A = this chain, B = another copy of it.
Amino acid sequence: MCAIIRALFSLMALIVQKYGGTSVGNPERIRNVARRVLETQQAGNQVIAVVSAMSGVTDNLLKLAKDVSDHPTDREMDVLLSTGEQTTIALTAMAINHLGGRAVSLTGAQAGISTDGVHTKARISTITPKAVQKMLTEGNIVILAGFQGQTSDGQITTLGRGGSDLTAIAMAAAVKADLCQIFTDVDGVFTCDPRVVSVAQKIETISYDEMLEMASSGSKVMQSRSVEFAKKFGVRFEVRNSMNNNPGTLVKEEEPGMESVVVRGVSIERNQAKITIDDVPDRPGIAAKIFGAINRANIVIDMIVQNVSFDGETDISFTLSAADLPKAEAELRKILPELGDSVDLRSQSGIAKLSIVGIGMRSHSGVAARMFSALSDAGINIQMISTSEIKTAVTVNESEIESAARVVHTAFGLDKVA
């Protein structure tokens, strides 16, 4: 009787977990994931586990595609690649059933994930989680294929990079999950890359905006896209390690107390390059011409700095990935004559970007100054500066990025207390 009353009143949580390709990389790891998922259910929860393709499988499929076609159509790439997750969901469900649990697998299409028709990088339009909810209600663990969906007319689509994270977060929003856990191969989000700053510490809680700035500044725990989706729909999620039981990093909406931390983390991005266009006439339409050319070449640029006009002429600098430098230079040289007679172009590679991120910056003054003086004290020259509301970024010589990260990390009190 007592047990029945407890059961009636206990709050059963609905949890969405996501396991990436490394976490399900071979049968042994799949069995490990199965155990973890089953334990989560046995602790009294309903569980939806989103899984990726086993690591290596996607590469094999890409190789097969290349063996039959130089330019496979995007539609058929989606039909091909979606078999990767379909294989994992079946194996994971089998492994859970083998442990005595009850699991059923669902493809993206079966789970009601509808997308637009942009094959290989589709966007989720709606989720109709009827089948998922029915299976949960029947006592099943639902194993859901990440990265995939279908159009309204039944074509298979995939969601592109970071697609499985997106599946987990979108499904968590659709079923109003109590918690979404993104299992990966690191313990969470750190104040800086621990390979560079050995005293970096795991961040317990971070806001969506900080997470977005960290992601866009080189801390690639997750694609910005999934974080943006989570922010839009208010999905709290935790990034944690599938290989241990350490608590991870909770990513959630901003809360007043969060601002007491001025800088949440330090992010570094290597292999950057800089292009400067000198003596550009300071008149409307010039920037549009420059960045239009860059955009047509499908090159992503990052920091843009334009100096104050002097004598009606100005300099425009921006950073980009060093790999894109030759292409960007070639595109720009084509349009240089349109910009003016004296316009010239300089470029430099071998630079890196250092960013500090924190919503506390908004309410604390002197943050940028403290960063600059820490770098100056270490004798590190700052080349470019760019700021947003919750981020300050600088570029330095690539050879100095590691020591720059360390001194800034220390300057903002982020070092782990030994």
Chain A residues in the interface with B (C-beta under 8 A): 27, 30-31, 34, 61, 64-65, 67-73, 75-77, 79-80, 82-83, 86-87, 89-95, 97-98, 104-105, 107, 110, 131, 154-156
Q: Do residues B61 and A73 form an inter-chain contact, with CB atoms below 8 A?
A: no
Q: Could you list some 15 contacts between A and B, CB below 8 A?
A: A27-B64, A30-B68, A69-B97, A70-B98, A71-B98, A72-B94, A72-B98, A73-B97, A75-B104, A76-B90, A76-B94, A76-B97, A79-B105, A80-B94, A86-B86
In the A-B complex, the 4 residue pairs with the closest CB atoms: A27-B67, A80-B90, A69-B98, A83-B83
Q: Do residues A68 and B105 form an inter-chain contact, with CB atoms below 8 A?
A: no
- Chain B residue contacts of A79, Cβ below 8 A: 86, 89-90, 93, 105, 107
- Chain B residue contacts of A154, Cβ below 8 A: 110, 131
A77, A87, A92: residue with the most chain B Cβ atoms closer than 10 Å: A87
CB distance from A19 to the nearest CB of B (A): 14
CB distance from A409 to the nearest CB of B (A): 43
Partner of A69, one of B72, B73, B87, B94: B94
Of chain B, the residue at the smallest CB distance from A98 is B69
Of chain B, the residue at the smallest CB distance from A154 is B110
Partner of A93, one of B70, B76, B92, B155: B76
CB distance from A120 to the nearest CB of B (A): 12
Q: Do residues A86 and B89 form an inter-chain contact, with CB atoms below 8 A?
A: no
Other contacts beyond A72-B97, A75-B105, A83-B86: 12, CB < 8 A = A27-B68, A64-B91, A71-B98, A72-B98, A73-B93, A73-B97, A75-B104, A76-B90, A76-B97, A76-B105, A79-B90, A86-B86
Q: Do residues A69 and B83 form an inter-chain contact, with CB atoms below 8 A?
A: no
Answer whether A77 and B61 are a contact pair too, CB < 8 Å, given A69-B98, A95-B68, A97-B72.
Answer: no
CB distance from A310 to the nearest CB of B (A): 56
Q: Do residues B104 and A91 form an inter-chain contact, with CB atoms below 8 A?
A: no
- Chain B residue contacts of A107, Cβ below 8 A: 79, 156
Answer whether A73 and B87 are a contact pair too, CB < 8 Å, given A27-B67, A30-B68.
Answer: no
Q: For the complex, what is the distance from the CA of A65 to the CA of B30, rounded to whole Å? A: 11
Of chain B, the residue at the smallest CB distance from A73 is B97
- Chain B residue contacts of A89, Cβ below 8 A: 79
- Chain B residue contacts of A93, Cβ below 8 A: 73, 76, 79
Q: Do residues B67 and A87 form an inter-chain contact, with CB atoms below 8 A?
A: no
Answer whether A90 and B77 are a contact pair too, CB < 8 Å, given A64-B27, A83-B83.
Answer: yes
Of chain B, the residue at the smallest CB distance from A86 is B83
Answer whether A95 and B80 are a contact pair too, CB < 8 Å, given A64-B87, A86-B86, A154-B131.
Answer: no
Partner of A61, one of B34, B87, B95: B87
CB distance from A315 to the nearest CB of B (A): 48
Q: For the complex, what is the distance from the CA of A212 to the CA of B30, rounded to whole Å? A: 44
Q: Do residues B98 and A68 form an inter-chain contact, with CB atoms below 8 A?
A: yes
Q: For the complex, what is the distance from the CA of A91 to the CA of B70, rounded to whole Å? A: 12
- Chain B residue contacts of A67, Cβ below 8 A: 27
- Chain B residue contacts of A95, Cβ below 8 A: 68-69
CB distance from A412 to the nearest CB of B (A): 46
- Chain B residue contacts of A98, Cβ below 8 A: 68-72
Of chain B, the residue at the smallest CB distance from A26 is B67
- Chain B residue contacts of A72, Cβ below 8 A: 94, 97-98
CB distance from A269 to the nearest CB of B (A): 36
Q: For the complex, what is the distance from the CA of A95 to the CA of B75, rounded to whole Å? A: 13
Q: Do residues A80 and B76 form an inter-chain contact, with CB atoms below 8 A?
A: no
Q: Do residues B75 and A80 form an inter-chain contact, with CB atoms below 8 A?
A: no
Q: Do residues B69 and A80 form an inter-chain contact, with CB atoms below 8 A?
A: no
Q: Do residues B91 and A65 form an inter-chain contact, with CB atoms below 8 A?
A: yes
- Chain B residue contacts of A82, Cβ below 8 A: 86
